[in-house]
Amino acid sequence: MSRVNSGSVTGLNFTALVEPWRAVVRLIGMRAVKAAATAAVICAVALSACTAAPRPAVSVPPNISLPPPGGMPGYYVVVAGREVVVRASADGHVTGTAAIPGSTPAGRTFVGGQAFGSADGRHFVIVRSRGGDLPGVADVTLFQLTVAPDGRPGRLGQLIFDNRGMPVTGAALSPDGRMLALSLVHEFPAGPLYGSVEILDVATGTARTWSGQSAPGYWPGVPAWTSDDTVVAPWWHSSSPGVIPAAITGIRQIDAAAPGGSLAAAPLAAFPAPAQGLQTAVIAPGGAQLIASSCRAGHHTATARIVELSAANGQLTRVLRTATARFGNDADAQDAIMSQCQVLSVAGDGDHVLVHAFTFGRIDNGAFTSLPGATSRVLPVAAAW
């Protein structure tokens, strides 16, 4: 593991034209946190408040036990076609599977799914997407999954939700499990992308919306809860629709107790300079870091870097992993950085990271261990803990 003292992520700026919503879905902020870093505390909401502000209290039901601070969750889940596979984090052995309900209607393409974890490592949100090959026609269904202490999954329960044809790019359960924060991206009608955040009542499906329509070219990444009534998300920007990598310009804060409103009017802890050239980023539990992927293609090669950025100012603090792979041609190398260069999930204050940097696995305090779960038939990998 290499460390640096300061500096922004530079020298990795390249562009890849892709279908717009597919690019942003992988930005998830671009899937994605701990994909749902529900215990994250973003001191960057006030750039000077990191040492002064106390950690907000959160409500955790008595039937939920959190992993020990800094600990690795016991299980991770992988969306594999029409089922969710639960695997042990230690060695990747399968502890159970759960079928994703529903069928694929005739004439609609099954695009795939994504997984987002929770603070206790046992509750997950599965996002299933169908269609979406044309703007404004993404058919998204949300499910909840609970994994027992011994790794056995329960049945997936469908949530009441209408995405109105817009792709969901991030999800996070509130600490008490009653609310679900969602990030969406709007890219129809044609023009600059913009994003929105919805807060969904898990029991009733009632939703409140914060729209970013007044901020074209910007969208929220994977959300995270800092308390029972505060949601934060990386604030992404690209001046060219459908082009990644993109930049993170700061951390947007949303009052989840409010009735909704303008996302652009919500408080923004802006970085002094945008963090450029990123594919994915996830806010680490504890809120002090962003774990991100920054990748580039060369002549028949591609290089992936998994980096840690300060959530207060977007500056590079350390490089967790660098991997280079060779390909038969430049097109395959370019495809690889689109589908095999991602931060998937973060736990333990950023000490444990699920990644796919040409090889799927976990990073524990800078040491990489490969894990089963990736297949060339299902890319990009959708996994979380």
Tens digit of each residue's pLDDT (9 = 90 or more) over 215-240:
999 999 999 888 888 899 999 998 77
| pLDDT over threshold 70, residue 54 | no
Q: Is residue 94 assigned to a domain?
A: yes
Q: Provide the domain limits for residue 365.
A: 2-46+73-384
Query: Bridge partners of 17?
Result: 243
**Mean predicted lDDT score pLDDT of the chain:** 80
Q: What is the pLDDT of residue 317?
A: 95
pTM score, whole prediction: 0.80
At residue 241 the predicted structure's pLDDT band, cuts being 50, 70 and 90, is low
Domain count, the chain: 1
Q: What is the pLDDT of residue 337?
A: 87
Q: What is the pLDDT of residue 134?
A: 56
| Selected residue with higher pLDDT from 82 and 44 | 82
Q: Are strands 179-186 and 194-201 parallel, antiparallel or unpaired?
A: antiparallel
Nearest-angstrom CA–CA distance, 181 and 172 = 5
Q: What is the pLDDT of residue 104?
A: 57
Q: What is the pLDDT of residue 192?
A: 78
Q: Is residue 60 assigned to a domain?
A: no
DSSP secondary structure of 104-134:
--TT--EEEEEEE--TTSSEEEEEEEEE-SS
Q: Is residue 263 assigned to a domain?
A: yes
Give the number of other Cβ atoms within 10 Å of residue 339's Cβ: 15
Q: Is residue 301 assigned to a domain?
A: yes
Q: Is residue 376 assigned to a domain?
A: yes
| pLDDT over threshold 60, residue 18 | no
Q: Is residue 56 assigned to a domain?
A: no
Residues making up the chain, counted from first to last: 385
Tens digit of each residue's pLDDT (9 = 90 or more) over 175-224:
888 999 999 998 766 677 899 999 999 999 999 999 999 999 999 999 98
Tens digit of each residue's pLDDT (9 = 90 or more) over 245-283:
899 999 999 999 999 999 999 999 999 999 999 999 999
Q: Is residue 118 assigned to a domain?
A: yes
| pLDDT over threshold 70, residue 62 | no
Section 316-339 average pLDDT: 93
Nearest-angstrom CA–CA distance, 187 and 355 = 27
298 closest CA partner among 264, 330, 254: 330
| Strand residues in 94-245 grouped as ranges (E) | 94-99, 110-116, 123-131, 138-146, 157-158, 168-173, 179-186, 194-201, 207-211, 218-220, 224-227, 230-237, 243-244
Section 296-316 average pLDDT: 95
Q: What is the pLDDT of residue 156?
A: 96
At residue 38 the predicted structure's pLDDT band, cuts being 50, 70 and 90, is very low
Q: Is residue 62 assigned to a domain?
A: no
Q: What is the pLDDT of residue 48?
A: 27
Q: What is the pLDDT of residue 110?
A: 54
Give the number of other Cβ atoms within 10 Å of residue 163's Cβ: 18
In this prediction, what percent of the chain has a pLDDT beyond 70? 75
> Residue 282 is part of a domain; what is its CATH number?
2.120.10.30
At residue 59 the predicted structure's pLDDT band, cuts being 50, 70 and 90, is very low
SS3 per residue for 323-339? EEEECCCHHHHHHHHHH
